[in-house]
């Protein structure tokens, strides 16, 4: 009986890992606030992650923000886990250390840090 329980735990652990690996970040994602959208793709060797700003809500179309339309927020972040990438994040001309973690099929967290100051943003798949 003990062997069966251990075998079942091993199968469940492998299934959980396989499920995590099946998350696909590619597609259009919107900030939780609804003010911006990003096209996320796999880039580089096919495992790196890129995210490009493709849309701003009308009231966010300011002279400060418009130049960033079409630019990459994340370019070639390296995969560090089944659904996690790390790299540089470009925000309004600032370069931050960033982590993107796909939480589920339709939710992703972007965390950016500069020195000891960090902020997280949630993205929802469109």
What digits encode the pLDDT tens for the residues 92-120?
888 999 999 999 999 999 999 999 999 99
The highest-level CATH class for domain 2-125 is mainly beta
What digits encode the pLDDT tens for the residues 49-78?
999 999 999 999 999 999 999 999 999 999
User: pTM of the predicted model, to two decimals?
Assistant: 0.80
What does the block give as tokens for 60? 């966010």
Alpha carbon distance 72, 91 (integer Å): 9
- CA 97 from chain centre, in angstroms, equals 13
Q: Check whether 35 has a pLDDT greater than 80.
A: yes
What does the block give as tokens for 124? 């929802």
- CA 69 from chain centre, in angstroms, equals 18
């Amino acid at each position: 009986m003990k062997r069966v329980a251990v075998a079942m735990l091993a199968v469940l652990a492998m299934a959980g890992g396989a499920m995590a690996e099946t998350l696909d970040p590619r597609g259009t994602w919107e900030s939780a606030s609804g003010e911006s959208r990003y096209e996320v793709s796999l880039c580089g060797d096919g495992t790196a992650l890129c995210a490009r700003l493709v849309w701003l809500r009308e009231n966010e179309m300011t002279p400060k923000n418009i130049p960033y339309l079409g630019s990459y927020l994340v370019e070639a972040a390296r995969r560090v886990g089944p659904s996690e990438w790390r790299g540089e994040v470009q925000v309004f001309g600032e370069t931050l250390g960033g982590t993107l973690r796909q939480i589920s099929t339709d939710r992703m967290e972007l965390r950016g840090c500069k020195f000891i100051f960090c902020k997280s943003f949630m993205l929802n798949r469109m």
